A and B are shown apart, each in its own frame.
Chain A
Amino acid sequence: MTVGVLIEHDGKHMKTSSRHVITAASECQKPIIALVIGYQLDSIAAEVALCDGLDAVWVLDHPDYEYASAERVALWVASLALTHVLASANAFGKNLIPRIAALLNVSPIDGVLSILADKHYVRAMYAGHILCDVISDDLIQCVTITPTAFKSCASLKQAVSIESHASVDLPLLSKRVSMHQADSESPELATAACVMTIGRGVPPELIPRIKRLAKRYKAALGATRAVVDAGLLPNECQVGQTGQVVAPDLYIAWGVSGAVQHLAGMKHSKQIVSINKNPDAPMNAFADFVLEADVVSVLSAWEARFASLEEKCVSQELEYEL
């Protein structure tokens, strides 16, 4: 009985979401192996090996895997003697887990929110509106885990062993030709402590100013589908049923109506603030704190607050120098 956790990384570091999956894996109470796939992985493997809860790290490090295609990754993972294969319920894990499941002839389970017993899970459907239990009869469990539903695992001082694996032979079925990555300066949207989300109620010329505000708070930038469809912010910012699922400590929604498809992606945030001038907007019934006002005036007030704080700091510094 061995649990394999597929580790997501960007070629430099492991993604925080994989730390949440390791915590979920530890609830299976079986040995846990982290699976790291790519090229030139030494530093990533060393980082992964410190994760609390692991028993070993298996590494497939090969130039052919610099672009780790689903076809090749699935073939390798399906060849390992694992009883559970877990990955995060995001574009990374959702791309891989069902294909691995097909090769193993098992019915995969998506977006697990809690593990009640071996092979017994809770998941959401209908845009998060309905929860259900799922029991699987399969000998091997192929599961994607909603990262925000589990804590992040800690890093230890002592590393577990790292084992190299040989690549598998499969003719090249797909290859990557280009990649556009979001700026890595801002925090990962899925695991950020604070998210500021821009909705259609934000006039486009205000977007750069909210971005600046988000930066000061080290907040990740989110968007509704309407804003992404309009080409105002990139797709990776979309929060919702069909975008990213987030659960930050603080979620600030600027001009967001609160459609069910949007709420599905942020309903588990600890504190939600809605800035929306329409008293009947669903978001204003849903959010913990509601500022029923125009985004323009709120943003100006917020900036003014910062400006005066900064002035104070500057004048204090001046006094000190004097």
Chain B
Amino acid sequence: MIICVPIKRVIDYRVSAHIRPDADAIVTAGVKHSINPFDEIALERALQERDSGLVKKVIVVAVGDADTNEILRSALAMGADEAHRIHASKTPSPFLTAQLLKLWLEKNPCDCIITGKQAIDDDANQLGQLLAGFLGWSQAMFASKVSFKKEAAVEVTREIDGGLETIVCQMPAVISADLRLAEPRLASLPAIMLAKGKPITVTDASELELSLTEKTRVFNYRTAPIRQGGKRVANLNELMQVLNEAGMEA
């Protein structure tokens, strides 16, 4: 069995994003980037399965420009067997990314896809579902537990609004990782050094014969209004008082 893990390069979660003066994009040049944390969790879960012997190979794939190689190398350092990049000069929307991946997977088949449930830049939470829809595969989103069964099926516990739900999906399946699916390993220094020399296969988006025209236009980026708070109250009685004044029954 082969697991494919699509990963995305995003601004690191410890860095706050800034808007370009023309309000048409986010500043990315010179900003620390890393693997989207949810994709890192997905990769860790796939690697665990390979390490336990059920899975033959874990391949990672990312869409983007040459800077994207950096996260592919991090993935190789964690232990991914192969790294692939679909070249696009700008990071496309989840919709275009899913279309590109679908076409790419026709030439690079796999049995299961595990990816992060959302990217922490656009917060869209769409890629896995889109890909499952395009491929006509079963889907198990927001997974906190995954166990592969012998009979071409996978059992997945999903984090849903009211609690947890466990489903069994026919393979091939698309799974998206929630926070508690796995704890990503740290790559060792030798593994990081070794990953520098490993090959990354590059496919140009044009080879996939897909026009890279977006169907949505995103603009007028602005900082969300910041709340002005911080009023100190001395004790619980005073808190009760101000809450009552604000019309709260406390």
Contact = CB atoms under 8 A, between A and B. Distances in A.
Interface of A: 10, 15, 67, 69-71, 74, 90-92, 94-103, 106-111, 124-138, 172-182, 189-190, 217, 225, 228-229, 234-236, 241-242, 244, 249-250, 260-261, 267, 271-273, 284-293, 298, 301-302, 305
B229 A95 contact: no
B179 interface: yes
30 contacts: A71-B138, A74-B133, A90-B161, A95-B141, A98-B126, A98-B127, A99-B129, A101-B126, A103-B133, A107-B216, A125-B122, A127-B120, A129-B16, A129-B17, A130-B221, A131-B223, A132-B222, A133-B218, A137-B215, A173-B138, A176-B165, A178-B165, A180-B165, A234-B163, A241-B120, A242-B178, A260-B16, A285-B229, A287-B229, A289-B229
Closest 5 CB pairs of A and B: A102-B133, A98-B129, A107-B95, A173-B138, A98-B126
B159 interface: yes
A289 B239 contact: yes
B88 to A, nearest CB: 16
B219 A236 contact: no
In the complex, which range does the number of interface residues on chain B fall in?
35 or more
B168 A175 contact: yes
Q: Among B16, B96, B122, B125, which residue has the most Cβ atoms of chain A within 10 A? A: B125
A30 to B, nearest CB: 20
Interface stretch (B76-84, B104-112, B241-249): B241-249
Contacts of B248: 249-250, 271
Interface in B61-77: none
A76 B246 CA distance: 47
B17 A126 contact: yes
Given A99-B132, A138-B215, A235-B159, A174 B95 contact: no
A233 to B, nearest CB: 12
B54 interface: no
Contacts, number: 241
A38 to B, nearest CB: 14
A236 B162 contact: yes
B206 interface: no
Given A102-B130, A126-B120, A132 B218 contact: yes
B205 to A, nearest CB: 17
Nearest to B24: A132
Contacts of A94: 125-126, 129, 141
Interface string B198-225: 0000000000000000111111111110
Contact of A271 (B26, B130, B144, B243): B243
B51 interface: no
Given A107-B214, A236-B162, A173 B169 contact: yes
Contact of B144 (A67, A127, A133, A235): A235
A298 B236 CA distance: 7
A272 B155 CA distance: 40
Contacts of B164: 179-180, 234-236
Interface in B162-197: 162-170, 173, 178-180
B242 A289 contact: yes
Contacts of B134: 102
Nearest to B127: A98
B115 interface: no
A92 B160 contact: yes
A172 B169 CA distance: 9
A90 B118 CA distance: 12
A130 B17 contact: yes
A227 B130 CA distance: 31
B133 A107 contact: no
Contacts of B161: 15, 90-92, 189-190, 236, 244
B19 interface: yes
A132 B127 CA distance: 20
B1 interface: no
A289 B231 contact: yes
A293 B85 CA distance: 52
Given A126-B123, A173-B138, A244-B161, A284 B230 contact: yes
A122 B170 CA distance: 37
A104 to B, nearest CB: 9
B227 interface: yes
B24 to A, nearest CB: 10
B231 A288 contact: yes
Contacts of A99: 129-130, 132-133, 139
A132 to B, nearest CB: 5
A290 B243 CA distance: 12
A129 B15 CA distance: 12
A110 B140 contact: no
Nearest to A267: B227
